Amino acid sequence: MNIAEITEKASPAEQIEVLKVDRSAKPKIEDLKKEWKVSEHRTIQDKTFLPDKEIKNEKGEVQRTKLVNRIAIPVQKYIVNSAVSFGFGNPVTIKSNAEEGSQEEVVEKAIERILFENKANIKNRQIARELYRSTEIAEYWYYQKVDTHEDYGFPCNFRIKLKLFVPWKNDVLYPMFDGFDNMVAFSRAFTLIDKERNTIEYFETYTDTEVRRFKKADAGWIDEVIEGAGKNVIGKIPVVYASQEETEYEDVKYDIERLELLFSRHAEINDYHAAPVTFITGTVTSLPQAGEANKAIMGDLGSDMKVISWEAAPESVRLEIETRLENIHKFTKTPDLFRQVKGMSQVSGIMLKMLFMDAHLKVMEKNEIWEDYFQRRFNILKSYVGNLLNLKLADATNNLELEPVIKPYMIQDTKEWVETLMTANGNKPLVSQEYSAELSQLAPKEDWLILEAEQEKAKTESVFNNPVEL
């Protein structure tokens, strides 16, 4: 379906007005950037939230303003980066129904090559990070005409490329869905700077039949002819879009804010009580000089002096800090490993799994988004292979079924795992000596041949040096 049919409007300006779907439910990217950047946190910037201290004289007049401690911590980055690491610390693999030597396998190998050339493992982590901090992300798969090559396993003169549409970089995304939640169009608004340093607005739209770019000129919106614009050769919208309602740290952002306020105020208390305060009763006749050894303070008869010290921080402050930290980790399913393993004499494989359980459950929850996301990616790439790169593989692309496999990151307790397997098989060796030497990575594989020769030589020498007596 083309844009005119979707919008039922004639002019580019009217079409764009319809394609700009309502975004009032999405958070403002400017606010999200302030939450993400530590120097923009409310504790740092808002002086009504954490005011500086006014120093007054005996008459109540303000003499000067003391700048208070303003402490902000990058909890948002910690939560998001942890979620990305657990979800995509291991590469996303592909489960396929392709049989060895079949046409379907040729298609699968071509898709794997396309993903490799576009650094899919790195892009997956970038995509997840953008979704978790800005609540939406999109990727666009397009083609470029090149000299004939066989990198995909067959001769073709196209390369498939990937571009991310990132709201953090001021891309405004407009996905349009029908009543059955099927995407009928996807649009992106963005700006570019030309050679004369003028900022120009653009609006791109993708449907299953066409790709168009509009440019804002003095006379209004006009069509711009660019490479790849026009007819959509694959019959699918070449865009994968993902969205979630809130950032990963939305539920705990007030805990973070309160924690920063507590740290800032507690720093003020520490500064105030850092040096001991001396309370003197009576008259002091002499005080020691700065840096003087064997200090002594002289006073009149009956005078007294005491050093006032702060015995301990209020327990309620400590309790609230610990509670806020616990809430942050618990409600975002972010493991607090350093605190959890403290005091443990030994951490087993089962214990590691228990510590990582929340993070792994979170990965499973997020798979509701990612399995659909990668499935659509694979379908787009299959369409490119069968409809553009090699038309002879059209039937194979229809028969090929690809499924993403997302494995959460886990520290492996190899020793415990090997012992468990050996117990199951009657305590027999699991691998050959040659392979175990290779796994050690202490020397190249060729060294095993030298090692075998040395062992045979040692056996021969042993026979000759210790002859058997008849």
Q: For the segment 166-194, what is each residue's pLDDT rounded down to a tens digit?
A: 999 999 999 999 988 899 999 999 999 88
Q: Beta-carbon neighbour count of residue 336 at 10 Å?
A: 16
> What is the band of 55 on the pLDDT scale with cuts at 50, 70, 90?
confident
1-5, 111-115, 214-218, 270-274 — which is least confidently predicted? 270-274
pLDDT higher than 90, residue 4: no
The predicted-structure confidence for 433-456, as pLDDT tens digits, reads as follows 666 666 666 666 667 677 777 777
Mean pLDDT value across residues 201-226: 89
Per-residue pLDDT, averaged over 336-350, amounts to: 63
The DSSP-derived string for 135-203 is: SEEEEEEEEEEEEEE-TTSS-EEEEEEEEEE-GGGTPEEEEEE-TTS-EEEEEEEEEEE-TT--EEEEE
Give the pTM: 0.81
* Amino acid in position 38: V
The CA-based diameter of the chain, rounded to the nearest angstrom, is: 117
Are 241 and 173 in contact by the 8 Å Cβ rule? The answer is yes
56 versus 42: the higher-pLDDT residue is: 42
Section 231-248 average pLDDT: 94
Distance CA 174, CA 206 (A): 11
**Mean pLDDT in residue range 111-123:** 96
Smallest Cα–Cα separation from 35: which of 44, 47, 25? 44
CB atoms within 10 A of CB 404: 18
Residue at token pair 């690491």: 85
- Coil, helix or strand for 429? coil
Report the percentage of the chain scoring pLDDT > 90. Answer: 54
pLDDT of residue 469: 56
The reported pLDDT for the residue numbered 335 is: 85
Say if residue 431's pLDDT is above 70. Answer: no
> Tens digits of per-residue pLDDT, 27-46?
999 999 999 999 999 999 99
For residue 410, the SS3 value is coil
Q: pLDDT band for position 261 (50/70/90)?
A: very high
70 against 438, higher pLDDT = 70
Q: State both tokens at 177.
A: 């869905």
Contact 333, 359 (CB under 8 A): yes
